[in-house]
């Protein structure tokens, strides 16, 4: 097995040797007809462009990651996020300039780059594995271009441009409309990224030669430019965005005050009745299922009896002594280490433009 792994690594190295330099290029022009400086507007606490710079860097498949811009502020944000900057010329910074023209200019200025991956700045749910897997079509399968697609289940109809003209279905039989589960759908470009060799770009093409598509799941195919607004995009990013290589630390110990989970009522004969919400019990069950040690803490005499019952019912130990002392004892017993709360990856990546 070891020899097989070694041979596989050597073959991969040989595949990569023929490609001297693979670069990621993110186009971020300063002018935007819709949202001013949209590419560096904060999205879920991170500049929009940061959501694609981070996976490009963390994918570890690029020799360099660039942002092509004509704007000083975008340049400052891009550099702060770890990307290099290509200052595009005024000739390719017009409203009428195409992405291909900008990529061709970059290729001329950087002839050492053999493969360029044009990553769309407005695709904030990109992950490193998308880029890694797509690039293998070029490094291992000999493709000249690879582009991302998403599967859509949309019925298309012919556009009517003249009065009296009738429309017709383009991709379905109206008499036999398929159910979604019975129809494979169609593959549509989602614009997230385009890999192309230098030779292809020099010919004026981003797609050509031996081509392959890379299918992305719909939840990762977010395009702010086309089909999504900012509040919805933030919710999608928080759920499906890439937050970095570091995994969040896992909670292994939780101490619960029973009194915080209870309600006290006065009965008709003026006696106190204490109850606990069943959702609190369900929450404790979920924590224990995730191997979190839960300890009940209660000193209040009114809820002490309830705490005793919960401890018996839920199988949670109960302590009434000093909390910190108990935590320290348990951590020492379980081999845990108490750490100061670390900043999240998102918080580390926050960039306030006022600090530039």
Residues designated as active site: 177
Q: DSSP states of 197-255 as a string? A: EHHHHHTT-SS-SSEEEEEE-GGG---TTTT--HHHHHHHHHHHS---SSPPPPP-EEE
For the record, the structure tokens of 247 come out as: 């995994």
For the record, the structure tokens of 259 come out as: 């009194």
- Which residues of the chain form beta strands (DSSP E)? 22-27, 42-43, 46-47, 64-69, 84-87, 115-119, 145-152, 186-197, 211-216, 253-257, 262-266, 272-276, 293-297, 318-319
Crossing angle for the helix pair 278-289 and 301-314, nearest 10 degrees? 50
């Amino acid at each position: 097995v070891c020899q097989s792994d070694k041979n596989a690594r050597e073959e991969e190295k040989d595949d990569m040797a023929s490609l001297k330099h693979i670069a990621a290029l993110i186009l971020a022009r300063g002018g935007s007809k819709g949202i001013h400086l949209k590419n560096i507007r904060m999205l879920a606490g991170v500049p929009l462009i940061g959501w694609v710079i981070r996976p490009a860097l963390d994918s570890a498949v690029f020799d360099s990651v660039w942002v092509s811009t004509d704007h000083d502020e975008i340049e400052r944000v891009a550099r702060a996020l770890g990307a290099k900057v290509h200052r595009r010329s005024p000739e390719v910074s017009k409203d009428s300039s195409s992405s291909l023209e900008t990529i061709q200019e970059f290729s001329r200025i950087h002839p050492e780059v053999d493969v360029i991956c044009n990553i769309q700045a407005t695709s904030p749910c990109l992950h490193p594995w998308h880029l890694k897997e797509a690039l293998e079509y070029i490094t291992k399968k000999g493709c000249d271009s690879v582009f991302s697609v998403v599967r859509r289940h949309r019925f298309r109809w012919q556009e009517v441009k003249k009065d009296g003209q009738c429309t017709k279905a383009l991709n379905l039989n109206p008499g036999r409309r398929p159910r979604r589960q019975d129809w494979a759908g169609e593959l549509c470009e989602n614009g997230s990224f385009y890999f192309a060799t230098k030779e292809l770009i020099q010919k004026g093409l981003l797609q050509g030669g031996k081509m392959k598509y890379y299918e992305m799941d719909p939840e990762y195919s977010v395009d702010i430019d086309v089909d999504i607004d900012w509040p919805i995009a933030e919710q999608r990013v928080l759920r499906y965005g890439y937050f970095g290589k570091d995994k969040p630390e896992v909670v292994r110990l939780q101490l619960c005050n029973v009194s915080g989970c209870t309600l006290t009522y006065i009965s008709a004969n003026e006696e106190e009745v204490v109850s606990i919400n069943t959702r609190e019990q369900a929450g404790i069950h979920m924590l224990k299922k995730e191997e979190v040690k839960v300890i009940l803490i209660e000193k209040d005499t009114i809820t002490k009896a309830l705490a005793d019952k919960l401890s018996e019912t839920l199988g949670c130990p109960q302590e009434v002594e000093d909390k910190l002392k108990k935590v320290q004892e348990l951590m020492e017993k379980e081999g845990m280490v108490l750490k100061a709360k670390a900043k999240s990856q998102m918080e580390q990546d926050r960039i306030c433009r006022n600090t530039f």
